[in-house]
Every structure is written in structure tokens, then in C-alpha cells.
Homo-oligomer: A and B are copies of this chain.
Amino acid sequence: MEPTKSELEILQVLWEHGPSTVRFVNDKLNEEKRAVQYSSTLKLMQIMAEKGIVMRDESSMKHIYSPAEPEDKTKSALLERFVDSMYKGSASSLVMQLFGNKNTSAEELSEIRDFLKNLD
């Protein structure tokens, strides 16, 4: 299913730090993003569990949440939807926009060139 904006923030914490408690996620959000109440984060993560976006291990009192799908799979899906809706599915259009209007570091560029070279 479709993660909402707030759900995505939570997923990102789980991706970065692995399976976590609500407390941990909430702390990270407050450190890295914005003020948010514990109960709000809890509620959101409960909803995500209902939707099947995350799995919940209830064996101990402190429930442990983890992403239901691998990070790559979710990100790919989101990226693909982004390309489809914004660039009519043209990956090259996206790349050109990405490097046309932005100043990307030389390292990044050569990294990409190498990557593309080895793609065949």
C-alpha cells in the first residue's frame, strides 16, 4: 500500500536503524525532524501495522516494529511512481533534470558514469 508522508518518515528511521520500538522511532523523529508526541508516533505505527506496511513483534512488552518490505523494493516503487507521474515514465528525462539544473559534485558524476559503464 501507499505510505503517507508521515509514514515515510517512520519507515526511514526503521530503514536506517533496523527494527525499533516506538520510543526509539519517536526519539529519532524529534531529534532529526520535528516535535511530535509519543502517542502520535505510536498511533501512526499501529496504523502502519494494520495496513501491513510494518510488522510488529509483540512477544515482549516493548513491541518491535520492522518494515514489511525491503527498503529497495519500497523505494523502487516510489521512485517508479514518481518517474511515471512527473516524467511520463522517462528515466532519462529525470536524470537530465537532476543534473541539468543542479550542481552535482564531480565525484557523484564519475560514480554514475562508472555505474552506467558496467551496466551491460
Q: Which residues of A contact B (CB under 8 A)?
A: 8, 12, 72, 75-76, 78-80, 82-83, 85-86, 90-92, 94-99, 101-102, 104, 108-109, 111-113, 115-116, 119
Q: A79-B97, A79-B98, A94-B79 are in contact. Are A85 and B8 (CB under 8 A)?
A: yes
**Residue from B72, B92, B96, B98 in contact with A94 in the complex, judged by beta carbons closer than 8 Å:** B98
Contact B101 A116 (CB under 8 A): no
Q: Smallest CB-CB separation from A77: which chain B residue?
A: B101
Q: A97-B75, A116-B112 are in contact. Are A91 and B102 (CB under 8 A)?
A: yes
Q: Known contacts A72-B101, A92-B111, A113-B116; can you find 4 more A-B pairs with CB under 8 A?
A: A79-B86, A80-B102, A109-B116, A112-B116
Residues of B within 8 Å of A97, CB to CB, are 72, 75-76, 79
